[in-house]
Copies of this chain bind each other. A is one copy, B any other.
Amino acid sequence: MSQTDETGSDGRREDLVSDTERRAPAPSRRALLSWGGAGLALGAAAAGGAVAMARTADEVPAAVSGEAVEFHGPHQAGIATPVQDRLHFAAFDVKTEDRAELIALLKEWTEAARRMTAGRAVGEGAYGGLPEAPPDDTGEALGLKPSRLTLTIGFGPSLFGRFGLADRRPDALVDLPKFPGDNLDPNRSGGDLCVQACADDPQVAVHAIRNLARIGFGKVVVRWSQLGFGKTSSTTPEAQTPRNLFGFKDGTRNIAGHETDRLRKFVWVGEKDGPAWMTGGSYLVARRIRMHIETWDRTSLQEQEDIFGRDKREGAPVGKAKEHDEPFLKAMKPDAHVRLAHPDSNNGATILRRGYSFTDGTDGLGRLDAGLFFLAYQRDPRTGFIPIQRSLVADALNEYIQHVGSAVFAIPPGVRDKDDWWGRSLFSEEA
């Protein structure tokens, strides 16, 4: 069996190292895999098992649950990609002060991401080379399908104060202002790096973050992480709109993955936007928003519908019949969420929402620690999230929610091919 065919014909992850091979005291194959040198040949094989899809253009065709999403392309996957069912999001702090070590890690991460998104294990042979060595891969995703795993990396403002990156910080990567009502927990905010793992199987998403954390041991440390389970928006308009924990359809008016023009206008950083290394990238604003569902559940239907400016059953805007009817903002209460968030109330400001519900057990008062892990992608937060959130200061919804975590990241462009790596345009002199 060739190494180019590590994903079985049924799409399941497999380990092709035979028992004899594994037990034989051969040198660990890990060295072969590290970036540079012979290991590159393996990279070429990573697309094996991936759904054939042309991500050279902006189009992102829908993939079937279970299959692989192509890792390479002009933009990172996981933004315009049809939203997967589960999320594991991690913010990391960089512990090393050594620029070369950080670059080496980013290269190692890229290779691992390339393999995992294709449904393969980290490292050559899922169980390591020698019984005396820890296995290369932690193993819990063996036998699972690629599950449309996407891994998306981002760089936080704090990274740019170090590693000689100060003059490379994009103007658009602003520190978010403090908004009225914010109650931010520093232990759930910020981070030098982030990785968003989305997959249709949570074990696959958790496995991916864990293995990246493990590869980064001693160089980076997880600052905070968030598991999300019910996607609260959709980038595939033909799909049924998911409902959030307040029971309302969420994501009705969003940018769809196939809307090339709107993606270019509102999501992808253009050539003229600068800096050059960000072309094809985006900016991510992540907000952990606690939702007080016990209070909400005691609110009348009328009040709930007034707050959103949409009806609960159908999701139609006030006075309209169908979910996808154009909202007539003046028919809504002045403090309705949809009215205040709508582009027409914000000089056209438009973001791509990709949030997930979360439930992190119960707080000390027996209330569910539940809410929305809000993820917004945009071409520039100064003309995206920030003005919309400012407008939402008047939002009737604020009585029922509170922002408790916050972070912003520059999302570099996609990894072009097997020789490219996460952050190359940022760290290389050429770009």
Contacts and interface: CB of A to CB of B under 8 A. Distances in A.
Interface of A: 15, 19, 22, 86, 88, 90, 93, 126-128, 130-135, 137-143, 187, 202-203, 206, 210, 213-214, 217, 221-227, 229-230, 240, 243-248, 293-294, 296-302, 304-305, 312-313, 357, 359-362, 364, 366-368, 370
B301 A243 contact: no
Contact of A366 (B223, B247, B300): B223
B134 A243 contact: no
Given A134-B301, A222-B366, 6 more contacts: A126-B313, A140-B246, A203-B357, A206-B230, A225-B362, A227-B360
Given A131-B300, A293-B210, A300-B131, A247 B313 contact: no
A138 B222 contact: no
A368 B210 contact: yes
A206 B300 CA distance: 22
B225 A132 contact: no
A300 B300 CA distance: 58
A302 B225 contact: no
Contacts of A142: 243, 247, 313
Contacts of A226: 361
A6 B421 CA distance: 52
B206 A359 contact: yes
B214 A131 contact: no
Contacts of A19: 313
B127 A313 contact: yes
Contacts of A301: 127-128, 130-135
A43 to B, nearest CB: 24
Contacts of A127: 301, 312-313
8 contacts: A134-B297, A138-B297, A140-B244, A142-B247, A142-B313, A206-B245, A206-B357, A206-B370
